[in-house]
Amino acid sequence: MDHMMRSKSLCFLSILLFTFCAQSAFAVNLGAMRKSLFKIHVISQTPNYEQPWAQNPTQSSSGTGFYIGKEGIMTNAHVVADGKFITVQRDGDDRPMTARVRFIAHDCDLALLEVQDPAIFKGLTPMTFADFPEVRESVNTIGYPTGGEQLSITQGVVSRVSYRRYVHTGSDSHLLVQVDS
């Protein structure tokens, strides 16, 4: 696998799982990580390709993003795809802030969001990517999965690493990590 594909795959893996290794470091940094996490709310509307003159109904969804520095929040492209209205909220903050997609890369399922008021990032530490986890290594995942308003923190074990076609576009393969909890 060439260096560019490996870099894309590792980046994709990191955002998809938002996985943290080393339990003791995780416990120490949980407070800082929580501050740098955002719940993303999206109102989207997909095109109607069969009847282009008609509009599909809008849909509401949510996902997880994290502050990466330079007034940017990284998330998955599938979270914000076809987004018409996007807001972000820090953990524990009940005030949503409007955001927009600055860059989107469907091939690696990544998107970078920017907000109107960068003051939301004041005092935050940008997230960094962890080393690549090994099979049978204990990992933690943190984020806002489907079905809840609260931040979810789960401990699990890496059970498989494979290079396979990824579902979002169906046209690209990526390094995927399966975590069993």
DSSP conformation class of 8: H
Per-residue model confidence (pLDDT) at position 169: 67
Across 134-161, average pLDDT: 87
pTM (global) more than 0.85: no
Q: Among 20-34, 63-77, 88-102, where is mean pLDDT lowest? A: 20-34
Across 144-166, average pLDDT: 85
| pLDDT, averaged across the chain | 82
Across 144-158, average pLDDT: 85
Q: Which domain holds residue 14?
A: 3-180
Q: Among 55-64, 139-148, 162-171, where is mean pLDDT lowest? A: 162-171
Q: Binning pLDDT at 50, 70 and 90, where does residue 173 land?
A: confident
Across 84-111, average pLDDT: 92
Q: Which residues of 134-163 are buried (b: 16+ CB within 10 A; e: fewer)?
A: eeebebbbbbbeeeeeebeeeebebeeeee
Tens of pLDDT, residues 55-66: 899 999 999 999
Q: Among 1-10, 20-29, 40-49, where is mean pLDDT lowest? A: 1-10
CATH number for position 65: 2.40.10.120
> How many structural domains does the chain have?
1
Q: Among 70-79, 102-111, 139-148, where is mean pLDDT lowest? A: 139-148
Cα distances (angstroms) measured from residue 25 to each of 60, 123, 125, 157, 178: 35, 20, 15, 17, 22
Tens of pLDDT, residues 83-96: 999 999 998 888 89
Q: Are 139 and 156 in contact (CB under 8 A)?
A: yes
